[in-house]
Amino acid sequence: MGFRLRRSARLGPLRFNFSKGGLSSISVGGRGASFNIPVSRSGGPRTTVGLPGTGLSWSVEHTPNRPAAVPAGPAAGLPNSRRLRPGQLDAFKQSLLGVLRQELFAPGSTGEQLWEHGLVSRLLADGSLSARTAGLLALIETPEAMEGYLLRAQGQDDAKRRAQRCITAVQEASRLASARGWLT
C-alpha cells in the first residue's frame, strides 16, 4: 500500500490547498459557498456558490486591474491576454499563427530551411525517432499541418499550449537536422 499526501488542510475557517509545488491557494467557506484566493497559481480570487448534492454551481473569477505578467522564455513573443470575450478566440489563434510564422519561419531562419528543404519529412521518414518525437515533429511537417493544429484549439489556454508545442517541435527538428548535418 502506497503513502498519500493530503492536498488540503483546515485551520479554523481557512482551508490551505496544496499542489506539487507547495501552497497553491487559501479558501474560506464550505459547502454551498466559498471564496478562493490564489497563492502560487495563476488567476484572481474566485467566488463559488452552489447547491450541495446537485452538482450545480456558479463560479466567478475576480480579475485584478493590472496586466498579467508574461514569463520570459521561448514563448515570450506570444500574445498574452488573461481572458477572451466570446468571438475573440479565432482572432487570437490567427495572431498566434502570425507570431509563429514571423518568429520561427521568417526568411533565412532555421524554420524556413526545415520547410523549404522538406527536412521535417525526412526526419519522420528516418524511422529512428521515438513515437513521441515523431508525433511532435508531425505538428510542423508542413505549414498547413501547423495551421490546422493551432486552429483546432478549443480555448485560449489550449491555443497557447499548442503554440508552445510548435515552438518545441521546431527546436527539436532543428537539433535533429543539425546533428545529421542537414542544416547549413
Band (2; pLDDT cuts 50, 70, 90): low
Quote the number of domains for the chain. 2
75 found inside a domain: no
Proportion of the chain above pLDDT 70, given as a percent: 81
| Cα–Cα distance, 57 to 93 (Å, whole number) | 30
Q: Which residue's entry shows cell 499550449?
A: 161
Q: Is the pLDDT of residue 166 over 80?
A: yes
Examine the pLDDT at 134 and tell me if it is beyond 80. Answer: yes
Q: What is the structure's pLDDT at 6?
A: 61
Tell me whether residue 80 is in a domain.
no
Question: For cell 493590472, what's the residue?
Answer: 66
What is the span of the domain harbouring residue 143?
89-179
* Contact call for residues 97 and 147 (beta carbons, < 8 A): yes
Asked whether residue 25 carries a pLDDT value surpassing 50, the answer given is yes
Same domain as 159, residue 98: yes
31 and 110 inside one domain = no
Q: What are the backbone angles phi and psi of residue 42, rounded to the nearest 5°?
A: -80, 165
Longest dimension (CA), the chain: 65
35-81: pLDDT as tens digits: 888 887 667 788 888 888 787 888 888 765 544 433 444 444 555 54
- Judge whether 130 lies within some domain: yes
For 26, what's the count of Cα atoms within 13 Å in the CB-facing half-sphere?
5
pLDDT at 58: 82
Q: Are residues 54 and 101 in the same domain?
A: no
Amino acid 1: pLDDT: 53
* pLDDT given at position 104: 83
Q: In this structure, is residue 139 part of a structural domain?
A: yes
78 in a domain, yes or no?
no
The percent of residues above 90 in pLDDT, for the chain, comes to 1
Q: What is the pLDDT of residue 71?
A: 41
